[in-house]
Amino acid sequence: MRARSTRLAGIALAAGLGLASLAACGSSDNTSTTPGSTGDAAAGGKKIALLLPESKTTRYETFDKPLFEAAVKAACADCTIIYSNADQNAAKQQQQAESALTQGADVLVLDPVDGAAAASVVASAKGSSIPVVAYDRFIEGADYYVSFDNATVGKIQATTLVDLLKAGGKTSGDLVMINGSPTDPNAADFKSGAHSVLDGSGFKIAAEYDTPDWSPDKAQQWMEGQISAVKGNLVGVYAANDGTAGGAIAALKGGGVTPLPPVTGQDSELAAIQRILLGDQAMTIYKPIEPEAEAAAKAALALANGQTPEKTTDFKGVPSTILDPIAVVKDNIKDTVVKDGIYKVSDICTGEVAAACTEAGIS
Ligand code: GAL
């Protein structure tokens, strides 16, 4: 427990110092190699490849990468990490995976841009007897899978939205759904989980959009087009993550929609926590990344050493660790992301957010 909070404090500090941009200096194709503290693979440590999908969503460079590296190094000082970020480009990720295999990676930890296309990465890794951990997003044929319960994420987002609308006295009206990337298997699970609650809720889903690349800009453009289509009937916006929520909110504000309808989100990004305090966003989902990164590091090290990793369950026939997502609204910001040391009060309560923090009892 102490190790966990110390590690997170270090990460938070590094994030504040612009760790993401430092990491990006590594090389032009977003690939870097981090030797362990006492040696490198030549000295006997394993080479672990971490392949993340994008950098517009803040979690990857700010939390997943440093927490995964810290977990590997804590367990194996002489292991080496080959790190790549694909910037939402599936072809680039395929090359990064091939390059990791050429560099002698002993295991791939792959968060795929395109879940279906990643099956060929698994096949080529298997051809070289290299195991693959599917990180956060499922890949058919992977040796291990670590994620959150993604259908539950969608259900919680939608339930929170419906509950908020009903608490505000609304039982009917139009909703729009801004889903995630069509190539991300998680996005399909968020969407079906949300539909299982919204369909038959009394509210009408007037329009729905699968956001290419999870792009906040594309979400914003689409929402701008919907404002005149749904006219005054819009009562709520289901947005699958905080990036798309930010795009939707910018469009609604730009279109002069007042009051803003409740908008959902996911990832507990700092900007989203601030929007929740200001009343611009209704909720987000908190997925503690540290246990996810630690489970992936543990599984990767076991597989790299020819051992069978411990599992808590099987998902589609793949041994897995599946973690629980948590809903965050104004009232529990203090007991979730602040309590867990994800953000310091001083990071959240800046500028115009300061007064909202005081009102919400966050100090
Ligand atoms: C999902 C992931 C979310 C979010 C999104 C955008 O697969 O589970 O946490 O980051 O991708 O990249």
Structure tokens at 257: 């929609």
Contact assessment for residue 295 and residue 67, using Cβ atoms and an 8 Å cutoff: no
Cα separation, 327 vs 130, whole angstroms: 37
| Paired tokens of 80 | 């080496």
Identify the residue whose C-alpha is closest to ligand 1 atom 9. Answer: 267
Res 256 pLDDT > 70: yes
Q: How many CB atoms lie within 10 A of CB 339?
A: 10
Cis bond upstream, residue 216 (ω within 30): no
The number of the ligand 1 atom at minimal distance from the alpha carbon of 56 is 12
Read off the pLDDT of residues 93-130 as tens digits, 9 standing for 90 and up: 999 999 999 999 999 999 999 999 999 999 999 999 99
Contacts of 169 (CB under 8 A, 6+ apart): none
Residues with CB under 6 A from ligand 1: 54, 57, 59, 136-137, 180, 184, 186, 214, 241, 266-267
Q: Which range has the worst mean pLDDT, 2-6, 111-115, 301-305, 336-340?
A: 2-6
Q: How many CA atoms lie within 13 A of 213 on its CB side?
A: 12
Expressed in angstroms and rounded, the spacing between residue 359 Cα and the centre of ligand 1 is 31
Residue of 178, 214, 289 to test ligand 1 pocket, by largest number of atoms within 8 Å of CB: 214
Total-model pTM = 0.91
Q: Using H for helix, E for strand and C for coil, what is the string for 257-270?
A: CCCCCCECCCCCCH
pLDDT in tens, 124-134: 999 999 999 99
Yes or no: say if 284 and 333 are a contact pair by the CB < 8 Å rule: no
Q: Which residues pair with 328 in a beta bridge?
A: 284
Nearest-CA residue for atom 12 of ligand 1: 57
- In the prediction, which pLDDT does 14 show? 43
pLDDT of residue 3: 43
Give yes or no for residue 216 having a pLDDT over 60.
Answer: yes
- What mean pLDDT comes out for the span 314-323? 98
| Average pLDDT estimate for 314-333 | 98
Q: What is the DSSP letter of 303?
A: H
The 3-state DSSP class for residue 235 equals strand
Q: Of the candidates 236, 150, 241, which has an alpha carbon nearest to the alpha carbon of residue 198? A: 236
Which residue, chain included where needed, has tokens 């979690």?
Answer: 59
Closest by CA to 60, choosing from 24, 25, 28, is 24
Task: Quote the percentage of the chain above a pLDDT of 90.
Answer: 87
pLDDT at 32: 73
